[in-house]
């Protein structure tokens, strides 16, 4: 009898020890793709722990479009996984104004209300497209077709340079883009704010700079 009791106690203790030391496994139901302005709750809907314990997430800036590496933790289990934030909320109708920068002064090249432009979602989750033509038919980015903005999950974004013409600067030039700025505007909405353009006319070494200002049209 004593031997049986000893075996039973050993089995129970061993089972408890095994249970306490079993590795927690984090399971993800899909690739994590969320909207701008999402919350931890939205992200954690994609993950669960094998032992049913609560999962926490850190390392995400929900105001930045693109891929970010988040840290998921449950008990003493911690691992990193990609979280992708979509650009959809940046799309919409905008008024675009362009200013020539010259010796510390700005000259408005789009007097009045500027160009009305429909900025659309891109072919990838972290892109948006600026059309080459305004809603009233003004050819803005001549020869280009559209400007594609790609966001990288950090405080920066890129627009590929191109060679062509631009409204109010109708000489064939090399164009490059920088300082692409965007952010929240309240009520869960987000906006592009603007960017800088550098022009080098073909066959010259002269540099000209422009500031593009974007005003999202909201109800």
**20 pLDDT exceeds 70?**
no
Q: Summarize the confidence of residues 104-122 as an average pLDDT.
A: 93
Does residue 23 register a pLDDT over 90? no
**What is the distance between the alpha carbons of residues 51 and 110, in angstroms, rounded to a whole number?**
61
114-143, pLDDT tens digit by residue? 999 999 999 999 999 999 999 999 999 998
Q: pTM here?
A: 0.86
Find tokens 């302005």 and name the residue.
37
Segment 151-169, tens digit of pLDDT: 999 878 999 999 999 998 8
Domains and CATH numbers, the chain: 2-85 (2.60.40.10), 88-216 (2.40.128)
Integer Cα distance of 86 and 88 in angstroms: 6
Which ranges of the chain would DSSP assign to H, the alpha helix? 2-20, 40-44
Mean pLDDT of the chain: 90
33 contact partners, CB below 8 Å, separation of at least 6: 84, 85, 86, 125
For β-strands 66-74 and 208-216, DSSP reports them as unpaired
Structure tokens at 175: 């164009």
Chain segment 176-190, per-residue pLDDT in tens? 999 999 999 988 999
Where would I find the beta strands (DSSP E) of 3-114? 26-28, 32-34, 47-49, 56-58, 66-74, 77-85, 92-102, 105-108
């Amino acid at each position: 009898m004593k031997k049986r009791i000893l075996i039973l106690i050993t089995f129970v203790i061993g089972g408890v020890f095994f249970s306490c030391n079993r590795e927690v496994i984090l399971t993800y139901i899909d690739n994590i793709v969320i909207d701008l302005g999402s919350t931890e709750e939205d992200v954690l809907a994609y993950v669960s722990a094998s032992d049913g314990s609560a999962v926490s997430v850190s390392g995400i800036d929900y105001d930045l479009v693109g891929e970010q590496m988040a840290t998921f933790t449950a008990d003493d289990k911690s691992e990193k996984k990609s979280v992708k934030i979509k650009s959809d909320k940046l799309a919409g109708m905008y008024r675009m104004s362009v200013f020539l920068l010259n010796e510390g002064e700005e000259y408005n090249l789009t007097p009045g209300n500027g160009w009305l432009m429909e900025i659309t979602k891109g072919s990838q989750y972290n892109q948006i497209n600026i059309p080459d033509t305004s809603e009233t038919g003004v050819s803005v980015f001549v020869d280009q077709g559209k400007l594609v903005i790609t966001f990288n999950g950090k405080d920066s974004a890129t627009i590929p340079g191109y060679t062509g013409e631009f409204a109010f600067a109708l000489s064939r030039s090399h164009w490059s883009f920088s300082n692409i700025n965007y952010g929240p505007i309240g009520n869960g909405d987000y906006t592009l704010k603007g960017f800088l353009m550098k022009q080098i006319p073909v066959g010259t070494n002269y540099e000209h700079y422009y500031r593009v200002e974007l005003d999202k049209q909201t109800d």
